Structures are given as structure tokens and as C-alpha cells.
Structure 1
Amino acid sequence: MNQVVRFSEFAEAESLAEPSETYRVPFAQSGAFVCKFIIGEPSEGALCCGAPVADGKSWCAFHRRIVFEPSRPPRVR
């Protein structure tokens, strides 16, 4: 699955360390408080990041910076 990623967001995500591969877990077995970012192609046996998430969000800080686009200021007409 292709995702649109702006270069600026990618550069910001690079400042954070990517979570270790040791956290990765099959998506179907991921529990609460772990990053649900799918690594690779989504499929029946998809792996998710699995890094601990303390704030109850769906993604760790590294992947959240890739997934979400920062809000833009309102346009003045």
C-alpha cells in the first residue's frame, strides 16, 4: 500500500530513532498500548511496529510523524 509522505514530515521523523525490530508483532496479536503501524505490505500475516505507546495513541512518536500531516493555518480571504 502506498502512502503519501511529505518530505518535511519524513525529515522530522528522521530526528527520532526508529523503534527496534524486536518489538514487531503480528497485527492480529497486538494488544493495547503498542504501535499499530503496519510494517511492509498489509496482508493476513502483517507485522506491526509493536513499540510501547504510553499515551494511549495508535502509533509511536516515530510513526505518528509519518502518518499525520501537521495542521495548516487558516487561509485569509
Structure 2
Amino acid sequence: MNQLVRLSQIGDADAIAEPSAELRVPFAQSGAFVCKFIIGEPNDRAVCCGAPAPDGKSWCAFHRRIVFEPARPGRLR
């Protein structure tokens, strides 16, 4: 039997904590494998998150959830 799943039912089961502000670095000095999510206004003195970004991705897990909208679940089979 098919069942509808609502986003509110999925909710905070896999909540991810926001990275520490101590990890932040100037965007121009951010290296590989760090989160490049811009904190504040994007300008010539931009600061990025700086948290570890696994697998060569551009954002850490916390900011990836903000940048990408999750696929809306349909019916489960």
C-alpha cells in the first residue's frame, strides 16, 4: 500500500549543528576541503564558514542543507 510522507514528519531527525564561528576564514585565504559558504555580505573582504567540507565539496553539511532544497518525497513504495 502506498503512503504519503510529509516533510514535517521527516523534520529534525538528522539535524546538523552549525559550525563554530572560530573556523571562519577570509574567502581569499580559504583552501581546499573547507566550506566556502559566505557569511554576511559578499564583498572584497568576504568571510566564509571554513568548516571541513568532505569529498571536495564546496560546502559543509550544515550549509549544504541551506543551499540545496531537499527533494520533496512522493509516495513510498
Once the two structures are superposed, the pairs formed by residues 1-77 of structure 1 within 5 Å of their partners are 15-72=15-72
Q: Which amino acid aligns with 2:35?
A: C
Q: Report how many aligned residue pairs link the two structures.
A: 64
Q: Which has the higher contact order (CA 8 A, sep 6+)?
A: 2
Structure 1: gaps of 5 or more residues: 1-7
Deviations 1:4-61 (A, max 9, x none): xxxx7xx75x921100111100001100000000001111000000001122110000
Q: Which runs of 4+ in 1 moved over 3 A?
A: none
Q: Which amino acid aligns with 2:38?
A: I
Using structure 2 for the length normalisation, give the TM-score: 0.72
Structure 2: gaps of 5 or more residues: 1-7
- If each structure's strand is expressed as a fraction of its own residues, which one has the higher value? 2
